[in-house]
Amino acid sequence: MVASRRPPIDLVFKPDFGAVRRAQALLQGIPNGYKKAAGGAVNDISKTVRSRITKQISKTLALKQKHIRDNVRISRAGAGDHFTLDRRVRIVGAREPLIEFGATQKKKGVGYRIERGGKRSTIPGAFIAEMPTGGRAGQALDFIRTGESGHVGVFKRRRKDRLPISELDGPSIPAVYQHHEEIEAETLSDIPGKLSDRIVARAELLLKRSLK
């Protein structure tokens, strides 16, 4: 079974137009002042969004927070000629290898847990093995364990014959975000307001520094 890459999810958030006008008015005498203040505010809030998404998904999915965070990427804002507030936090990733979900070998197969706090399940006949160097996650494999260093995964034979075998996967991080609407509600509901406040705060700070 080939691990399919789900289309990324882009989260776009914008400030209140009133906050934008106020920041622009405060910084009208400072070259690129508004771009610096707004760009910094967008970067700050993007980090907040990434942190929230990571924590919310980790409450649902039994994966390490660092692994989740690595799949939540920030498109950073800058103060160049193509400046825009339409920055994105992008959630990416293919289906996660089942080995990442606390997989353990048992006599009857492999035990694992997808949801944090949920019950463990067992896949009869599955086994944990090491993929030879050069193998691809999710690819049907014809290999004999040789002791070479490589990728460890959960596998199962497709038929009663010894070969071929396939690596087993769990859900992708984008799919979990999309299927749990409460994650978006917990993550983004107050972000436009926070971004607006942050833009004005950065504008006021930049103005104060320029007057020293």
148 pLDDT band, cuts 50/70/90, is very low
pLDDT at 78: 57
Integer angstrom CA distances of residue 178 from 6, 72, 111: 11, 13, 26
DSSP 122: E
Q: Where would I find the H helices in 61-172?
A: 65-70
Residue located via tokens 């970067």: 43
Give the SS3 label for residue 99: helix
Give all strands of the β-sheet with 165-167 in edge-to-edge order.
Answer: 127-131, 151-157, 165-167
Q: What is the pLDDT of residues 16-68, one digit of tens each?
A: 999 999 999 999 999 999 999 998 999 899 999 999 999 999 999 999 999 99
Per-residue model confidence as pLDDT tens digits over 171-212 = 999 999 999 999 988 899 999 999 999 999 999 999 999 987
Distance CA 41, CA 195 (A): 7
What is the mean pLDDT of the segment spanning 81-101? Answer: 81
Q: What residue spans define the domains of the chain?
A: 9-94+173-210, 97-171
Among 70-74, 139-143, 145-149, the range of highest mean pLDDT: 70-74
